[in-house]
């Protein structure tokens, strides 16, 4: 096992392969990017408070505060443990399994094909271009997933959950008071989607055309619908939206207690190429235009 203590800015280039990454920090930022290389690179550009511990053993690279790693997230409930910060950037093989835990820190993961799991107390999480299974949980931080193609599971207490250009075969998201916004790309027309919220609103934009069996429920909120093939039931109180779009091979079920539900349609023009502008005609003579 190789082990280092990092109390000041430092760069590492690991010669041994990396298959699993564990990161645990409070405050600051974690950036993880997948590469075509077999080894990993690490840069710690700023450290405040206790030093970070970096270990590499049997393909597992760990970057964490030693006390928090041993005692887990419960120790982070002590406000004194917030008096630390680190800026950590890692380049790892794309197939690496990534597990990140942050408190008050932003986490950004991109270009990873392996399984990715992020647990956040209050920091924002950004996931870009991930192709493996993804799970992200947060208490109050926001989670944004963009161009994710693997199975996606998001969970929040008060943070907003947003999926942009999603082409995931499965999307599961639940929130207590945070909003859920899901924008499916053109190839997500038959995804299996399950969304649940207590008081946060739910908005879903489906590709057009799409193949989805739809069921949306709200106990006291409102329902907006952009599809003629779907019907809203209930004139006051509880509302329910049901129907089939296309062949109905996909599934969308959205449930909220007091939040609103909006089902939107992606215009076909957004997925079609732009027309080439016509060549301007040559002038046949002098023009009467004057420049003032």
Question: How far apart, in whole angstroms, are the C-alpha atoms of residue 52 and residue 119?
Answer: 19
Range of the domain at 253: 142-268
Question: How far apart, in whole angstroms, are the C-alpha atoms of residue 67 and residue 59?
Answer: 22
Query: Which helix (H) or strand (E) element contains residue 71?
Result: helix 66-71
Residues 40 and 149 in one domain: no
Would you say residue 287 lies in a domain?
Answer: no
Query: What predicted TM-score, i.e. pTM, was given to this entire model?
Result: 0.86
Residues 88 and 204 in one domain: no
Residues 260 and 147 in one domain: yes
State the total domains in the chain. 2
Residues 219 and 104 in one domain: no
Question: How far apart, in whole angstroms, are the C-alpha atoms of residue 82 and residue 104?
Answer: 8
Residues 176 and 88 in one domain: no
Question: How far apart, in whole angstroms, are the C-alpha atoms of residue 63 and residue 42?
Answer: 9
Residues 157 and 96 in one domain: no
Residues 9 and 85 in one domain: yes
Per residue of the chain (292 residues), what is the pLDDT tens digit? 789 999 999 999 998 899 999 999 989 999 999 999 989 999 999 999 889 999 999 999 999 987 766 555 555 555 555 578 999 999 999 999 999 999 889 999 999 999 999 999 889 999 999 999 999 999 999 999 999 999 999 999 999 999 999 899 999 999 999 999 999 987 767 899 999 999 999 999 998 888 999 999 999 999 999 999 999 888 677 899 999 999 999 999 999 999 999 999 987 744 444 445 555 555 444 444 433 3
Residues 17 and 71 in one domain: yes
């Amino acid at each position: 096992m190789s082990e280092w203590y990092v109390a000041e800015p430092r760069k590492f280039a690991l010669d041994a392969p990396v298959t699993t990454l564990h990161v645990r920090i409070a405050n600051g930022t974690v950036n993880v990017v997948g590469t075509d290389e077999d080894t990993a690179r690490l840069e710690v550009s700023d450290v405040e408070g206790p030093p970070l511990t970096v270990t590499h053993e049997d393909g597992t690279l760990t970057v964490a505060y030693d006390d928090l790693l041993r005692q887990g997230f419960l120790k982070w409930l002590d406000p004194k443990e917030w008096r630390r910060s680190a800026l950590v950037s890692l380049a790892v093989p794309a197939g690496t399994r990534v597990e990140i835990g942050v408190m008050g820190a932003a986490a950004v993961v991109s270009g990873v094909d392996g399984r990715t799991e992020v647990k956040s107390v209050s920091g924002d999480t950004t996931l870009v271009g991930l192709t493996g299974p993804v799970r992200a949980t947060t208490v109050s931080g926001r989670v944004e997933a963009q161009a994710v193609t693997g199975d996606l599971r998001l969970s929040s207490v008060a943070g907003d959950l947003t999926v942009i250009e999603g082409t995931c075969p499965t999307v599961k998201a639940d929130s207590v008071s945070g909003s859920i916004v899901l924008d499916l790309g053109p190839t997500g027309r038959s995804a299996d989607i399950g969304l649940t919220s207590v008081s946060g609103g739910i908005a879903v934009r489906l590709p057009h055309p799409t193949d989805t069996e739809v069921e949306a429920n709200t106990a006291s909120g409102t329902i907006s619908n952009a599809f003629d093939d779907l019907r809203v039931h209930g004139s006051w109180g509880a509302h329910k939206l049901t129907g089939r779009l296309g062949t109905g091979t996909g599934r969308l079920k959205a449930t909220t207690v007091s939040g609103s539900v909006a089902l939107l349609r992606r215009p076909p023009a957004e997925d079609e190429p732009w027309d080439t502008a016509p060549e301007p005609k040559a002038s046949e003579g002098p023009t009467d235009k004057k420049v003032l």
